[in-house]
Structure 1
Amino acid sequence: MAEFSDALSITASGLRAQSQRLRHLSENIANADTPGYRRKTVPFQSVHDAGGAVGRVEAGRVRLDPTEPQRIYDPSHPLANDDGYYTGSNVNLVIELADAREAQRSYEANLKMFEQARTMSKNLFDLLRR
C-alpha cells in the first residue's frame, strides 16, 4: 500500500508545482504591457526526504528573467525620457502561451496519474474485501 501513497504523493507534488507555474505564467501574460515589468520564471527541483516518496517535485524560488526589457519609443508616454523612450516589459506572449500549454498538459498528465493510482487502490481494496 505504500506504493499507492507514494504515487499519490508524487503526482500531488507535480500538481502543486504546475499550478504554481500556471499562476506565474498568467501573471506574466496579464502584465505583458506593464512598463518595467520583468517576466517571472519558476524552476522545479526534486525533493529527497528521508523515508519520503522518491520523485517528488516542488517549485523553487521565483526568479526574474534577466532578459533586457524592450525600449519603446513613444514621446507622449508619461514615463518617456528626454529621447522619447520608456522601458517596457520583457514578456514575450508567444513564449508565455507555449509555456502555459506545456504546464497545462503536465498538470493534466499528473491528474490522470493521480486518478489511476486512486482507482487501482480502490480496486485492490475491493479485491481484498472478497
Structure 2
Amino acid sequence: MSTLLQALGLSASGMNAQATRLRHVSENIANADTPGYRRKTVSFDADMRAATPGTVKVGDVSLDRSDLNEIYDPGNPLAGADGTYQGSNVDILIEIADAREAQRSYEANLKVFDQARQMSQGLIELLRR
C-alpha cells in the first residue's frame, strides 16, 4: 500500500510542477506586448529531502537574458531619437510549445495518479472480502 501512496505523491508533485510552469507560460503570453518584459522560465529539481524520494519541486524562476526586440515605432512615447524602443523577448510559438508540453506532462501525471487510485481502491475492495 505504501508504494501506491508513493505513486500518488510522485504524480501529485509532477502535476503541481507543471501547473506552476503553465502559470508562468500564461504570464509570458499575457505580457508579450509589454515593453521591456523578459520571459520567465522555471526549473525543476528532484526533491531528495521529501518523504517520497524522487518527487519534483519547482526551482527558482529565472528571467530569460536574451536580447529584447527592437521595435521601430516613432509615434510611440517610449521611442527614442531613432524611433525605436525595446519590446519583450517573448516568442509566442515557444510559449505555445511549452504550454503543450506542460499540458501533456500534466495529463500523464494525472493518468498515473488515477491508475494508482484505482489500484488502491481495488486493493481495499479485495481486503474487504
SS of alignment partner, residue 16 of structure 1: helix
1:12 alignment counterpart: 12
Q: How does 1:33-112 map to 2 (within 5 A)?
A: 33-49=33-49, 52-112=51-111
Q: Report how many aligned residue pairs link the two structures.
A: 129
SS of alignment partner, residue 20 of structure 1: helix
SS of alignment partner, residue 120 of structure 2: helix
Pair 1:24 & 2:24 matched:
yes
TM-score, normalization by structure 1:
0.97
TM-score, normalization by structure 2:
0.98
Provide structure 1 residue ranges, at least 5 long, that are not aligned to the other structure: none
* Cα deviation, residue 98, structure 1: 0.3
Provide structure 2 residue ranges, at least 5 long, that are not aligned to the other structure: none
Greater than 3 Å deviation, 4+ residue runs: none
Q: How does 1:117-128 map to 2 (within 5 A)?
A: 117-128=116-127
Per-residue CA distance 1:9-54 (angstroms, 9 max, x = gap)? 100000100000000000100111111100000000000026x212
* Cα deviation, residue 72, structure 1: 0.6
Write the distance in 2 (CA, Å) between the matches of 1:9 and 1:49.
Answer: 14
* Cα deviation, residue 61, structure 1: 1.1
Write the distance in 2 (CA, Å) between the matches of 1:55 and 1:4.
Answer: 14
SS of alignment partner, residue 46 of structure 2: strand
* Cα deviation, residue 58, structure 1: 1.1
* Cα deviation, residue 55, structure 1: 1.5
